[in-house]
Structure 1
Amino acid sequence: MPLGASVKVTAVDCATGAEASVLGPLGAPQRDLERLALHKLQQRILREMDGLGRAPEKPTPEKGGRGGGGIIV
């Protein structure tokens, strides 16, 4: 999909619906951008399978953290 002077390529895993996109220059070879998007998608799937895709839990006062000065409701 052309976006001005750049192009966006998205790879989608049909089984999970996971997506990964890359942006590149309009003159970049399409195959190179496809390869990058596919590699990015594969890495995302591997991360999620290993459980590393989750953001680390932020410490809260209840969990022994100092707290960030926010209000717990």
Structure 2
Amino acid sequence: MIANEILIKIENAPISERIHIIEYILQSLKHDMQPTTMPKVRQRKPFQVRSFNLGQDVHCDRDEIYAERG
């Protein structure tokens, strides 16, 4: 816990000193948040497309399809 005396000194300190205190606290937090272990690097697997046969060619009439829409 922070002593009340320290808090009172901080409250009465000039703004520039308060900003320096805040910057110091932020730097220490950034340092503490650094990951201790290296993140795992995923290995990329090659993407392969399998071909398939529908059995027959599919033909459609665009005009007939769009005529149904109005």
Query: Structure 2 length normalisation: TM-score?
Result: 0.34
Higher Rg: 2
Which protein, 1 or 2, shows the higher relative CO under an 8 Å CA cutoff with sep ≥ 6? 1
More strand by share: 1
Query: Structure 1 length normalisation: TM-score?
Result: 0.33
More helix by share: 2
